[in-house]
């Protein structure tokens, strides 16, 4: 028969490994530079997507859309520092920081500019550049409520140069990308512009980020 104290001791051994320092546990929930993620538009349940299909109007650059498929490999984006900067892998991303989102399969950056989007007449959002290098119109500011971008946050992305918000309002394309939703920039924020990190590969926080976080707390 198991003695009561033996049962209590076994329970303690089971629980103890799960107790992590609060600072480390919270850091692991922060989005970091170098992570490769899918971004879900909360309102319309579509993931930010791109592919080597160009717009037939506007800039003629690579199109950016929203797709309902969870498994599409063309929905992965790498999080990087803003243009002409290097964001070290594993560095914690702050709310209000400007970043680039580089499409993994084509190497082009999420981009916007003063062209009209093909379906809604808002501002066009495209994928631009070569091998991850484009220009300052690739920069997006992460808008969230705390100090750092948490994985479970619903965030907005504001285009750093033109101030439009990355949005989806439900317009659907026909062939050759039938059923995919238009992604565009809107001049104001609303429920169409909330995004959340979903599937991905997350880089662990760097030692530098941990040190900076400790200094912030002191």
Name the percent of the chain lying above pLDDT 70.
Answer: 83
* CA contacts within 13 A on the Cβ side of 97: 21
Q: pLDDT at position 175, please?
A: 86
Query: For residue 161, what are its two tokens?
Result: 């140069």
Delineate the domains of the chain, giving CATH numbers in brackets: 26-217 (2.80.10.50)
Q: pLDDT per residue over 79-119, tens digit each?
A: 999 999 999 999 999 999 999 999 999 999 999 999 999 99
Q: pLDDT per residue over 151-167, tens digit each?
A: 999 999 999 999 999 99
Query: Residue 172's beta-bridge partner residues?
Result: 181
């Amino acid at each position: 028969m198991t003695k009561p104290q033996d049962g209590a001791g076994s329970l303690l051994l089971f629980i103890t490994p799960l107790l992590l320092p609060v600072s480390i546990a919270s850091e692991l929930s922060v989005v970091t530079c170098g992570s490769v993620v899918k971004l879900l538009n909360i309102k319309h349940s579509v993931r930010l997507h791109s592919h080597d299909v160009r717009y037939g109007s506007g800039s003629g650059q690579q199109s950016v859309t929203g797709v309902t498929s969870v498994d599409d490999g063309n929905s992965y984006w790498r999080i990087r520092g803003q243009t002409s900067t290097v964001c070290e892998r594993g560095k914690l991303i702050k709310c209000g920081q400007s970043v680039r989102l580089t499409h993994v399969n084509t190497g082009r950056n999420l981009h916007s500019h003063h062209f009209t989007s093909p379906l809604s007449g808002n501002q066009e959002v495209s994928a631009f550049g070569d091998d991850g290098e484009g220009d300052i119109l690739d920069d997006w500011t992460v808008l969230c409520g705390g100090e750092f971008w948490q994985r479970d946050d619903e965030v907005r992305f504001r285009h750093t140069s033109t101030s439009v918000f990355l949005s989806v309002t439900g317009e659907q394309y026909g062939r050759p990308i039938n059923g995919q939703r238009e992604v565009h920039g809107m001049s104001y924020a609303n429920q169409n512009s909330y995004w959340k990190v979903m599937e991905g590969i997350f880089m662990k926080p760097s030692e530098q980020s941990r040190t900076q976080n400790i200094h912030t707390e002191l």
